[in-house]
Structure 1
Amino acid sequence: MTPEQKRQPDEKRPIIPRRENQNMKNKIAFVAVGQAGGNIGQLFEDRGFNVLYINTSQEDLDTLEHAKYKYHIPGGEGCNKNRRKAKQLVIDDFDRIAAEIETKIKADLTFVIFASGGGTGSGAGPMLIDLLIDEGRAIGAITIVPGQNESVKAHINSYDCFSELTEIAGTAACFILDNDRAEKLSINTSFVDDFCSFLEVPEKHKSVKGNIDKAEIMETLSAHGMALVTSRKAQNSAETIKAIQDNPYAPIEGDRAVKYITASLSDGVTMPELEKAIGTPIDTFQTFNDEGITICCISGLTYPQSRLDIVYKKVDENKEVIEKNLTATRETRMKKSINFLDDLEPPKKAAEAPKPKSKRDIMSKYL
């Protein structure tokens, strides 16, 4: 009996077989780490993509009833937002994790999906990306920034996670989903829809004025730095630019550094006008459609420093409260001051490189 036949009529998330952009599904795959990563991974697997789910929590994996490939890291019982715990579990088990990825994920480009504010995904995600790149794989990232109403610990994790992620050389595109910009589950669905629409452009959008081929799609997605993808109805360039600026994922900011703008343009939308608003790319790839929809992927962008500053600010503003709560649980004879970040995660070994002097230094390598 197939998974479709096993699914009961009252289940909320039907499995819908998809046949579009089959060739691109052989080129791109996903490793979903942690619960939030698993939620997005399921949306891609429902579209026919190959997904491997990795988690320290067996309970989280058990909720993925129709997932084809699942791997529980031995000894893991969840990481309850403890990034260091997740890192250690990955280090101890990396050979088997790498073997799972090698046997289950056959693709030219693999995206690791994780939440930056959690435990398993936040701790394991950047490290896993770095290790897989070192093995010669092309690896990108899809990560989530916590909303301002989420806990201070989630913001601590998120900032530390991005501090590591942006220091990794050789990453492919990094897509950032911002829980402050829309409801989180709707963001997930919208992103997967837009990402898949972009992959379908070579097959569905053809024009005598120019076409986009699969190699150009792959080149766009392989560019280092932040990436953004949108698919919106737009009658003119102004509407398209507004849709890009108001996207539910992450803001375009900074010096507008950009490597590629790749788009299927509807009538009334022009590439020069997009470049004027977004920034001058190294190259553009474009085709045209008569469906009134502009599908656009912008890659090689600078990371959203202003948004990450907001993450840092929440941590810094709550420092005194956290220190007070932590010291209240200690014996009164312990009088010396503490660093609340060090208390939440044990200090690094002295042999390791010292931490940068400022938060700007942490992000400076790829800005």
Structure 2
Amino acid sequence: MKIRENCYMLGLGSTGGKIYKEFVQRHYKGAAANGSEQDHKALGDVPNKYILQGFDGFGGHRERAMDCLAGNEDFIKFVEGIKEDIVFILFAGGGSTGSGCAPIVAEMLLEEKDEEGNPVKTVCPVIALPASGESLAKHKNAYETVQELQEIEGLGATFFLNNDSNENYDYINKNFASMLDEFLSNESYGRQNNFDESERLEMLKDSGAMVLSVTGDGTDSKIKLEKLTKSGIFAPIEDNYICENIGIIHSKNDKSDIDSEDVIAEVGKPDNVFEGFNGRKTIIAASGLDYPVSHVKKLGELAVKANAERMRNKKSTRAKLGSLELPEVDITEQKEEPTKKRMTKLELLKKRRGQ
């Protein structure tokens, strides 16, 4: 099995479509789903653009995903009909269409089980986390999305893209597509050992976070490890040294580019260390890591702080009318009329619509 040919890239929402486009340029199969025709047009001439009918974006409200999917039966059938065994769900955690639909779509893809009760498909979310300076709504959406992903049993490796790592999000998307392509398509071999497809698939099946580092010859090993764990395009990993598998494809026929013990010192002692040789570049991968909860918590704290400040400002600056000093009126001779209840604006609207 060619692992690369058995992958499907499903982009949800605006950001998901942009990441999907990067993989289309590398000749991967997939599709982009969005309710916004404008977002689809911005992708240009890419195949398989799916319109979610009746939802031209969610307006920041990810909870609308349930209504959207319930009203788009054709899209549900389309997802259920994906034949490839490895599906990457690409989306922005801070958005609404992607972050709202992704957990539901992931559960749909994991429904099919083998005879032992294990999911037939390997489902790997790729979530772009919002930058620290982005809006309250985006931080809140991302926090809730990660919470939901944590609850899904049988989910494969999750890639957390960190939009704090570069102001140019297109750069992050392109870099990720390039690194994952290197990981999936590498066919290097050496006499000592090979990092084969079954081992790479094992890493993709690992529940938890996964990170990658791809560097050329001459890059210092410390920089390689920094890019893997802290300063690269992925959210910084947790410092609890929980790791299931480590994979390394050396760019040479020896280990002079990076020592596996140095990687273990950074990410923790894994169950397995897979190594291959003579790669085009040095590729380091770690899977089965804890979700980057420290980083995501910071986003949640920013959301709470921003909301508290917004409510304080709203309370302190909202103009209020004082009491009116009205002249006294003699009402003894005025005829009393029955008090009429004033119609609400909603009732007026219903009356105008004939309801």
Query: TM-score, normalized by length of structure 2?
Result: 0.80
Residues of 1 paired with 2:35 and 2:295: CA distance? 29
Match status 1:31 vs 2:10: yes
Amino acid at match of 1:271: S
Q: Unmatched 5+ residue regions in structure 2?
A: 114-120, 321-355
Match status 1:272 vs 2:261: yes
Q: Percent identity?
A: 27
Match status 1:307 vs 2:299: no
- Residue in 1 aligned with 2:350? none
- Deviations along 1:117-137, one digit per CA (max 9) or x if unpaired, are 011001111111122212443
Cα distance change, pair 273–79 in 1 and its aligned pair in 2 (3 A): same
Amino acid at match of 2:197: K
- Residue in 2 aligned with 1:158? 142
- Deviations along 1:48-84, one digit per CA (max 9) or x if unpaired, are 1111111121221222332211211121111111111
Q: Report the alpha carbon displacement of residue 234 of structure 1 after superposing the two structures with TM.
A: 5.5
- Residue in 2 aligned with 1:296? 284
Residues of 2 paired with 1:200 and 1:258: CA distance? 23
Amino acid at match of 1:240: K
- Residue in 2 aligned with 1:257? 242
- Residue in 1 aligned with 2:334? none
Q: Report the alpha carbon displacement of residue 199 of structure 1 after superposing the two structures with TM.
A: 1.3
Match status 1:116 vs 2:104: no
Number of aligned positions between the proteins: 307
Residues of 2 paired with 1:326 and 1:121: CA distance? 30
- Deviations along 1:176-199, one digit per CA (max 9) or x if unpaired, are 101001131111111111111111
Amino acid at match of 2:160: I
Q: 1:47 aligns with which of 11, 26, 31?
A: 26
Match status 1:171 vs 2:155: yes
- Residue in 1 aligned with 2:125? 141
- Residue in 1 aligned with 2:216? 233
- Residue in 2 aligned with 1:220? 203
Further displaced range: 22-31 or 146-155: 22-31
Cα distance change, pair 295–80 in 1 and its aligned pair in 2 (3 A): same
Cα distance change, pair 215–326 in 1 and its aligned pair in 2 (3 A): farther
Residues of 2 paired with 1:155 and 1:228: CA distance? 22
Residues of 1 paired with 2:51 and 2:78: CA distance? 11
Further displaced range: 109-118 or 83-92: 83-92
Amino acid at match of 2:288: G
- Residue in 2 aligned with 1:208? 191
Amino acid at match of 1:46: Q
Further displaced range: 80-89 or 227-236: 227-236
- Residue in 2 aligned with 1:9? none
- Residue in 2 aligned with 1:340? none
Cα distance change, pair 306–69 in 1 and its aligned pair in 2 (3 A): same
Q: Report the alpha carbon displacement of residue 270 of structure 1 after superposing the two structures with TM.
A: 1.7
Contact 2:4–2:185 under 8 Å retained in 1 = no
Q: Unmatched 5+ residue regions in structure 1?
A: 1-21, 333-367
User: Which protein is bigger by CA-based radius of gyration?
Assistant: 2
Residues of 2 paired with 1:54 and 1:260: CA distance? 32
Q: Report the alpha carbon displacement of residue 242 of structure 1 after superposing the two structures with TM.
A: 2.7
Q: Report the alpha carbon displacement of residue 207 of structure 1 after superposing the two structures with TM.
A: 0.7
- Residue in 2 aligned with 1:7? none
Residues of 1 paired with 2:317 and 2:151: CA distance? 35
